[in-house]
Amino acid sequence: MTTGIAISIIFFLSIIISWYKIVKGKKIAEFIYYWGFPLGAFVWEDLFVFSIYGFISTLITLYFQQGRLGLLFFIIFWIVRSGGESLYFFLQQFVEPKQHPHFLQDHYQVLRRFFGNISYQQCSIIMQVCFQIILMFSLVSLILLLISWRSLA
């Protein structure tokens, strides 16, 4: 229980620090992979979104008092994160020409209201990892549904 509370505090502080670094930092993604890799974060934008995921999943684990649930969140995080990064690096190697397939500048205004005048690259990173988080929560929900299928009315 106390370990879970400590982990949730670390994630909460990571949310605040990474948000501050995004808002006050450079207008390009700043790499933090030397120390952020164990959390799956390569840039501050990754750390921000993944810390939200970690904070919420830790709170859910604490609420249900199920360490196995925390392990499930952790394992699914790394399945999705490594799968997404594998695909990213695959595409980086082979997609030609080397350019963004879409320019969504106008669609990122909501993010800029929250973070300030961040770059297109920073917005794209936040969107990419947000959808990875949605996938992770969906997989956890699916597994929990399948586990308790017989007990549902």
**Domain boundaries, given as residue ranges, for the chain:** 2-151
Q: Would you call 104 helix, strand, or coil by DSSP?
A: coil
pLDDT at 49: 96
- pTM of the predicted structure, to 2 decimals: 0.80
* Helix segments in 25-119, DSSP class H: 33-36, 44-64, 67-94, 109-115
Count of beta carbons in the 10 Å neighbourhood of residue 149: 8
pLDDT tens-digit readout, 13-48: 999 999 999 999 888 888 898 899 889 999 999 999
Instruction: Choose among 49, 45, 23, 51: nearest CA to 32.
Output: 45
Residues of the chain with pLDDT under 50: none
